[in-house]
Each structure stands twice: as C-alpha cells, then as structure tokens.
C-alpha cells in the first residue's frame, strides 16, 4: 500500500459522501467533494509516475474508482431528477459492456494491453463536465444552456466509445482465435 493507492482509496470513500450531498440537495458540497475526488485522481497518477510507485493493485483500483465515482454520480443525479434516467442507463451500460469484455478476456486467460483511446478520454471528459455543469447551474444559472449540450454530447460520445470498445474487443478475440 503506497500513497497513490491510498489516494485512490480516499476517492472511493468520497463516493458515498458525494451521493449524500447530491441526495440532500447540497450541490455546493457535492461540487467540493467531486473536485476533491478529481484531485485525488490527478495526484495518484502523478505521484505514481514521478516516484515510480506504480503497482498492480493501483492499475486495477484506479479505473475501478473512476467508474464507481462516475456511475454513482449519474445514478444519484438521475434519482434526484436533474439528469435524465436514459442518460444514466447509457453511461452505465457502456461501463458494464467494457467490464464484461475484460471479464471475457480474463475467462479466456488472455490479457491484452488495452489503453484508453482518445474517444474514451473525450467520453470521460464529457461525462465529468456534464456532472459539473449540472451541479454548478444552481450557483451559476448562466450555465443552463450547456445542459443539453452536455447531456446529448455525453450520450453520443458514450455510445460511440462503447461501440469502439466492442469493435476492438471483437477484433482482439477474433485475432486470438484465428
């Protein structure tokens, strides 16, 4: 257990705190909690690279923490009615499909190196910015016109990214079998 992994665990522990703030309609505290979680994400990766403290645990734990945070945010924001439920389903479905793909690789004892694509990074950024805009609108109403852009942009990029991962996974599995 090193500092980067501790920061990742802190991010996971912040998830229920964030959800409580969202459900209690405390967007200011939710934003702060989400921001602190984001800073831990930046710091764990930076510290791991600079101090050569990358671990196998961290390699698995970090993306899991990210997915848990984003999925929890989308679920909580849909429950309180500030994000459409269909968008939450799109976001969660993509993550489940990716998880099932990796699980299938695990079951076949195949461990390809898969790095996030540019499309996946754009998708993640859209998902994060959409959450931030939704939370910030109460304090900064001038952001309201960005909500539909965030919602439909997130949906579009999430679907495209999910389809891209399916394509890549299918290509990898077909190459392995052929």
Q: What is the pTM of this model?
A: 0.87
Domain holding 155, by residue range, is: 83-178
The contacts of residue 88 (CB under 8 Å, 6+ apart) are 74, 75, 77, 78
Residues 90 and 54 in one domain: no
Instruction: Report the Cα 68 to chain-centroid distance in Å.
Output: 7
41 touches 85 (CB < 8 A): no
Q: What is the structure's pLDDT at 178?
A: 46
Task: State how many domains the chain has.
Answer: 2
The rounded distance, in Å, linking the Cα atoms of 66 and 76 is 15
Residues 154 and 103 in one domain: yes
- Length of the chain in residues, anyone? 178
How large is the average pLDDT for residues 132-161?
Answer: 96
User: In the chain, what percentage of residues exceed pLDDT 90?
Assistant: 59
Q: In this structure, what are the phi and psi dihedrals at residue 49, rounded to the nearest 5 degrees?
A: -70, -45
User: In the chain, what percentage of residues exceed pLDDT 70?
Assistant: 97
Decide if pLDDT at 93 tops 70. Answer: yes
Residues 88 and 42 in one domain: no
3-state secondary structure of 51: coil
Dihedral sign (CA 165, 59, 17, 103): positive
Residues 134 and 51 in one domain: no
Residues 142 and 56 in one domain: no
Q: What is the structure's pLDDT at 177?
A: 53
Tokens 């645990």 identify what position? 57
Domain boundary among 47, 82, 117: 82
Residues 162 and 176 in one domain: yes
Decide if pLDDT at 176 tops 70. Answer: no
Decide if pLDDT at 110 tops 80. Answer: no
The rounded distance, in Å, linking the Cα atoms of 17 and 31 is 11
3-state secondary structure of 109: coil
Residues 131 and 77 in one domain: no
Task: Give me 177's structure tokens.
Answer: 């079998």
């Amino acid at each position: 257990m090193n500092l980067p992994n501790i920061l990742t665990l802190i991010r996971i522990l912040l998830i229920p705190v964030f959800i409580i703030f969202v459900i209690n309609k405390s967007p200011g505290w939710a934003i702060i909690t989400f921001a602190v979680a984001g800073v831990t994400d930046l710091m764990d990766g930076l510290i791991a690279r600079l101090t050569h403290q990358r671990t196998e645990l961290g390699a698995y734990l970090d993306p899991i923490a990210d997915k848990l945070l984003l999925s929890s945010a989308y679920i909580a924001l849909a429950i309180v009615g500030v994000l459409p439920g269909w968008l939450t389903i799109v976001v969660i479905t993509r993550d489940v499909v990716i998880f099932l793909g990796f699980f299938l690789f695990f079951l076949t004892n195949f461990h390809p190196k898969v790095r996030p694509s540019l499309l996946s990074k754009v998708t993640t950024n859209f998902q994060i910015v959409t959450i931030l805009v939704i939370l910030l609108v109460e304090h900064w109403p001038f952001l309201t016109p960005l909500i539909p852009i965030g919602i439909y942009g997130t949906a579009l990029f999430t679907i495209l990214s999910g389809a891209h991962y399916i394509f890549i996974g299918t290509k990898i599995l077909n190459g392995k079998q052929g």
